[in-house]
Amino acid sequence: MNFTKMHGCANDYIYVDCTKETVQNPGPLAVRLSDRRTGIGGDGMILIKPSERGDFFMEMYNADGSLGKMCGNGIRCVGKYVYDHRLTDKTELTIDTPAGLRYLTLHVEDGVTKSVTVNMGHPSMRPADLPVLVDGGEITYPVNSAGRELIFTPVSMGNPHAVILVNETKDFPVQEVGEPIEKNPLFPEGVNVEFVKVISKEEISMRVWERGSGETWACGTGACASAYACYVRGLTGPSVTVHLLGGDLFIRYDEKEDVIYMTGPAVTVFEGTVETD
């Protein structure tokens, strides 16, 4: 199987062009290939497929083999892949995902995609949209983990997020606190957990425990959810730079459209072939 290793802010995935390749048993294959010692290494695997509703379809598998609904860093790399590999000459793309259609604008220099802006769609705090088993109508809710009493803001970006404000992200025990929340019965389908420090009205820092992958160096939907949670709590303005372990993302909430725009890099690391049997 031919593959391309790509990353957005060090959130790295294995990309397969399924307009040319046929992938059998993608869940178990994602587990094997994501292993950083015995596989290619990555936070998961993304298949690029034809679509009747959009220009292409993005099918994402986490490192544990579970099927994901949406990946902000991953979808930027999908845009870069299809343009740089000449599957399209369009710089305005519609990508179909299990979370719905997403709209991309590619920023191209000398025929190569350098960064991508994504219309990430409407954020939602409705408990049923995550889902989370709480009564609706509130901005924050309590949750306990690792002996800590915490407050989270629920945000759906097509996938579920629990955004938690902390005093400092640098030394925060992300796995110790994040893993039990991911598996908390409050979240029947699991949840991505963001730990966020507000730096100013225009800047936040974030670390993330991703459902199905563990701590990753970046999460695009998580950055969107965190920016929105800080905005609705009155802590930041509608536009913020989100500092992640793997780099920065620029997030803008359009109040009139009620949609979030994300801009960030997309990088090709290497290409190769791998035995899949």
d(CA 49, CA 46): 10
Rg (CA), the chain: 18
CB 72 within 8 A of CB 221: yes
d(CA 97, CA 119): 13
CB 189 within 8 A of CB 131: yes
Residue 18 known to be catalytic: no
The dihedral sign for the CA sequence 161, 143, 166, 62: negative
d(CA 28, CA 46): 13
Q: Pick the catalytic residue from 9, 77, 219, 230.
A: 219
Residue 71 known to be catalytic: yes
- Residue type, position 71, single letter: C
171-209 per-residue burial string, b: 16 or more CB within 10 A, e: under 16: ebebeebbbbbbebebbeebbbbbbbbbeeeeebbbbbb
In the chain, helix, strand, coil percent, each to 5? 15, 45, 40
Q: Pick the catalytic residue from 71, 77, 224, 230.
A: 71
Residue 32: which H helix or E strand, with range?
helix 26-34
Catalytic machinery residues? 71, 219
